[in-house]
Amino acid sequence: MKPQQELEFLKGFIKLTEDQATKRNNLEAFCGGKSKTLLVDADSMLFNVVHSHSKDFKDTGKIDIFKQYEDFNKQIEAVCKSVELDGFEVAEVVYFFTTCRNNFRKELLPSYKANRPKNQMGLLVSLLKGYVIEQLELFDLPVFYSDTLEADDLISQYDAPVNDRIIVAIDKDLKQIEGAHFDYYKKKATDSEGLPVMGWVELNSGENVYIQKKDFKGWSYTTKKEGFIMLMAQLLIGDNADNIKGVDGIGVKKAAKLLEGKNNFGALRAVFEAYNDKDRLKLNINLMKL
């Protein structure tokens, strides 16, 4: 899905249209206690670090891996500060990375993610990822990666009570998982002059950045039913980013109409009827379900 489609999709199924205070109250009601474990999908953070250093690399042809590692840690610290300013204590940060060389999805669908360009940026991210994982393990910090599973698969399998964890990610696929979610891209911050700063590349610029207290941006909560409907909608729409084809002629609006007001069984039946191909539906479930 394109970014604008994803936004419309999430508004419809993950209830991001509620006002920020209501979302915060919902989070507190669902999550209960204050002390939380952060389950961090760290891949996007690595990409942002590499991107922020890309000009230096083009100018010098050299990589300052130590500075990049330092900037990665700054992002983690900023996330923790954001969560704490919104009223939670961070009990632990658990790191998840996609390193799978034998991704099981590529065995199911050889064209999986084949549409993604192979470029120098990907190589630089891989180099940084290897170093970061090495350092995290050196300091005996909880870090997870797999030869066959992606980071979001590992997060979905992590054994932690729903009320004790916060999923820190920008990946829409993780919205299948029940619980509290924090999207650090949507967190507003301000620079030293009080001007808004969006995104995280800017946080590596060396300027002072101040995260606003209790602005509630980036928070959402996925119920079990919403997580299931999320999967059903993805099956109908498909996923262009991963090169997974959905149902011809069905986009965000039509998917929403087909699933509107249905319980889990009704939603599944609507998806089955739209596919009219049991084998391809089964394949896509195996590709998309976390």
pLDDT digits (tens, 9 = 90+) for 176-215: 999 889 988 877 666 666 655 545 444 445 555 566 665 6
CA–CA separation, 233 vs 237, rounded Å? 6
118, 231: one domain: no
Residue 250 phi/psi, 5° resolution?
Answer: -110, 120
128, 212: one domain: yes
**pLDDT value of residue 201:** 44
Sheet bearing 89-96, strands edge to edge: 143-144, 89-96, 35-41, 165-168, 179-182, 219-222
Task: Please state, rounded to an integer, the average pLDDT across all residues of the chain.
Answer: 83
* Token code pair at residue 210: 């101040």
Which is more confident, 204 or 142?
A: 142
194, 263: one domain: no
218, 231: one domain: no
Does any domain span residue 8?
no
**pLDDT value of residue 38:** 97
96, 201: one domain: yes
Contacts of 254 (CB under 8 A, 6+ apart): 236
Instruction: Summarize the confidence of residues 66-80 as an average pLDDT.
Output: 90
| Digit-coded pLDDT (tens) for 234-258 | 999 999 889 999 999 998 888 888 8
H or E, element range at 96: strand 89-96
**pLDDT value of residue 32:** 67
Which structural domain range is residue 56 located in? 19-222
Q: What is the CATH number of the domain that holds 119?
A: 3.40.50.1010
**pLDDT value of residue 8:** 52
Instruction: Summarize the confidence of residues 73-78 as an average pLDDT.
Output: 88
Total domains in the chain come to 2
**pLDDT value of residue 1:** 47
Assign 165 a pLDDT band (cuts: 50, 70, 90).
Answer: very high
CA–CA separation, 104 vs 235, rounded Å? 18
Q: At what angle do helices 252-259 and 3-13 cross, to 10 degrees?
A: 20
Contacts of 192 (CB under 8 A, 6+ apart): 207, 208, 209, 210
24, 127: one domain: yes
| Digit-coded pLDDT (tens) for 257-275 | 888 888 889 999 999 999 9
Which is more confident, 161 or 205?
A: 161
Q: Pick the most confident of 71-85, 124-138, 261-275.
A: 124-138
**pLDDT value of residue 193:** 61
Domain end residue (candidates: 201, 222, 243): 222
Does any domain span residue 173?
yes
Does any domain span residue 176?
yes
**pLDDT value of residue 214:** 58
Which is more confident, 185 or 287?
A: 287
Identify whether the C-beta of residue 36 lies closer than 8 Å to the C-beta of residue 27: no
Identify whether the C-beta of residue 270 lies closer than 8 Å to the C-beta of residue 262: yes
Assign 16 a pLDDT band (cuts: 50, 70, 90).
Answer: very low
